[in-house]
Every structure is written in structure tokens, then in C-alpha cells.
Amino acid sequence: MANRDLDELFHILMPHAVDKLCFFGHFQPFGATVNSSGEITPNVAHIGGSNKPNRKQVDKLVKAYQKLASERRIRALGVCKQVPLNNAAFDTTGTAINCCLEHANGDVIDLYIPFNINRATNSITFGSLCARQKPGDFFN
């Protein structure tokens, strides 16, 4: 990636998602922000337990990020979640780790790593990293 902030966020968020996925078989949505000094702060949608957060908790995290971005208290952010993947553009279906990264300068990238959990062998197979451009959701 050409943007250092987004690159750093990706290298924090994606390994954490893979780690949680391998340990629990799923993970709760989470993210991180980069403030104007370059400090990275992680955040989760739901604290405690391995239960998935409800929509209200995820919306609360997103609204908090939108507020921080609109007040220019952060310069970049990333949100990582587990999503169904049935987009023909990715030439695969199933489930993926989605990491959406956004910067105040307008850089936005949506990254996906498809995976398949084999419960019989207790193993996970990961596909290739896929990326797509998308409009920004936070810095407008």
C-alpha cells in the first residue's frame, strides 16, 4: 500500500483477525484508529466473551469512528469483520475476513481474505488476498 498509516493498520488488524479466527473459529468486529500524532488505538464493538456483538454494538463503534473522523481527531481508521463473500468480482463464495481501511486524504481500500473452516479436521484454509476500491464511509 502506498499510504503508511493504512499499511500499519492493515499489519495490525489482519493478523489479529486471523489469530482470533484460528483460536475461536470466528471473531467480533473490531478496528483501530490513527490520531494526528500517528498513535494507533485499537477498539472493539463488544467487550468480553466470544459471543458475536449485536448490530447495535457494531453501529455504536461505527458512529464513534464517524464522529472522530468528522471532528478530524483521527487521520485514518480500519474496521475488520467477518463477512459472507458472494461477489462474482472475487471469483469465490463463502466467508472472508474483511478489512476496510480509510484515510482522511481520501485513500480507501477494502481488503478480503477468503477462508474455509473444516470442522471435521479442525483446520482453516485461507484464500488469496483480494482488494477493491470503494467510496469512503467516514471522511467526507
Least confident range from 35-44, 50-59, 109-118: namely: 50-59
- Domain assignment of residue 138, yes or no: no
- Domain assignment of residue 76, yes or no: yes
- Tell me the per-residue pLDDT of 72-82, one tens digit each, with 9 for 90 and over: 999 999 999 99
CA separation for the pair 7, 40 (Å, rounded): 12
Confidence of residue 115 (pLDDT cuts 50, 70, 90): very high
- Domain assignment of residue 8, yes or no: yes
Nearest to 78, CA basis, from 37, 136, 140: 136
The model carries a pTM of 0.87
Percent of the chain with pLDDT over 70: 87
Q: How many CA atoms lie within 13 A of 59 on its CB side?
A: 3
- Domain assignment of residue 126, yes or no: yes
- Domain assignment of residue 140, yes or no: no
- Domain assignment of residue 139, yes or no: no
Q: How many domains does the chain have?
A: 1
pLDDT at residue 47 in the model:
62
Domain span at residue 45? 4-132
